[in-house]
Amino acid sequence: MEQTVEIKSKITLKPSRFGKKYFVKTFGCQMNEHDSERVSGMFELDGMQKAESEDNADILFVNTCTIRENADDKLYGTLGQLKKWKSQSENRKLLVGGCAAQKDKNLVRDKAPWVDVVIGTHNLTNIINLLNQSEDWGPVTEIIDEIENLPTDAPSIRESEFSAWLTIQIGCNNSCTFCIVPSVRGPEISRRPVDIINEAKQLVNEGVKEITLLGQNVNSYGRDLKIDNKSRPYFTQLLEKLNDIKDLERIRFTSPHPKDFKEETIHAVKELEKVCNQIHVPLQSGSSSILSKMHRGYNKERFLDKVDMIRSILPDVSLTTDIIVGFPGETDSDFEDTMDVIRYAEFDSVYMFKFSPRPGTAAYNMHDQFIPKEIIDNRFDSLKITQTDISERRLKRFIGTEQLLLIEKISKKNDLIYSGKINSGQITHIAKDNLNLGDLIKVKITDSTPFFLKAEKV
């Protein structure tokens, strides 16, 4: 018997699953990764232990993404495979949350009726209550459209003991025609500064050395709080307060919106000792006409002005961006405009995506302007080749320099290698000899690839 239950605004956990093992599969962005950390924390508070893989898990949580069509396809393919996993034991529980669950709760339930709990993005802190109810009454679906309380008190289990996500804002007030986020995450809501500062201090007390501030548009943080009865962003002021926290070593942030990028933020990156020399500016397209169709709020020239402003204040900053290839109506000339920006800005790296029509977005209805797949594929390959050459050249500038490296984890490909990031964000590998996870050490960069650096201890 499926039921739709009423939201509980408080976390009510009781240790009831000692000996049970859980596993979390995460699709999508950093916000989803952070949500998964919180779910893991609540599972462990309930007495569960993390399984090495889904094969030996009793409880499996799938955190979904819906930003592109292949994300949905991957989800339903995964749920199909997990039907066999669930059938192997009557005590196994399968939970699905995240953006796809928020957007398509009925579709998830219809396509995968073997799922025990379908839960949205706005009420993950109620996940243990829902798991309890599914055990008592059968499959349960709980999706709410508005957030009553920000999940500031949910525990987290992080992949790294020394680096942590810190959510400062949820939701988005922009109306980009390709993006489903406002529908599944809601409008912008900023957390109170005191809550953010207290959480950051708690993370430092737990051994965290680097925090990454999360928001759909961190530049607009605080606008809805109306501090001093003024509706304006307070992101720079937040950076200043975080910079004062004792024993916090590094601060990063993602993602800012180019239209809201202020010069004061760039000066904060330059002047605040703990804010890293790295800025992500999501371009999406270099064509002014396509940017207008996307409702991005800037054109090619204004974006290049932002790049020039950033470079004038921070000449050696590490710039990264996002590009969508093949947005509806994109011509060869439009794509060449994007390539012009790529060559001019010389980003350290680019996150590249092929346009995918998402139901619920304005771009989904631009059917008559969709670009043939083979054209998108060719443009994507051209962008990838060009950017790989740029990234290779950009990363070579570090060879022979001394950098501070935070060692975060063991390399997945070689257990004799540690992996971490230098201040400007580049992934860096170093031999494990006489080093430990969490070390913040001075290293010399010895070699580079388009994708990572190699180092040795100084």
Neighbouring residues of 288: CB distance < 8 A, sequence distance ≥ 6: 299, 300, 301, 337
Q: Could you give the residue range(s) of every CATH 3.80.30.20 domain in the chain?
A: 163-396
Q: Which among 216, 215, 234 has a CA at the least distance from the CA of 166?
A: 215
Q: Which among 89, 142, 137, 80 has a CA at the least distance from the CA of 117?
A: 142
CB 451 within 8 A of CB 391: yes
Superfamily of domain 3-142: Methylthiotransferase, N-terminal domain (3.40.50.12160)
Half-sphere exposure of 93 (CA within 13 A, CB side): 24
Q: Could you give the residue range(s) of every CATH 2.40.50.140 domain in the chain?
A: 399-457
pLDDT at residue 156, as a whole number: 62
pLDDT at residue 69, as a whole number: 58
The answer regarding whether domain 399-457 maps to CATH 1.10.760.10 reads no
Q: Which among 328, 318, 388 has a CA at the least distance from the CA of 352?
A: 388
pLDDT at residue 157, as a whole number: 62
Q: Which residues of the chain have pLDDT under 70?
A: 1-16, 67-73, 143-159
pLDDT at residue 198, as a whole number: 92
* Fold that domain 163-396 belongs to in CATH: pyruvate-formate lyase- activating enzyme (3.80.30)
CA 205 – CA 241 distance, rounded (Å): 17
Among the residues of 206-299, which ranges form H helices?
A: 235-243, 263-271, 288-294
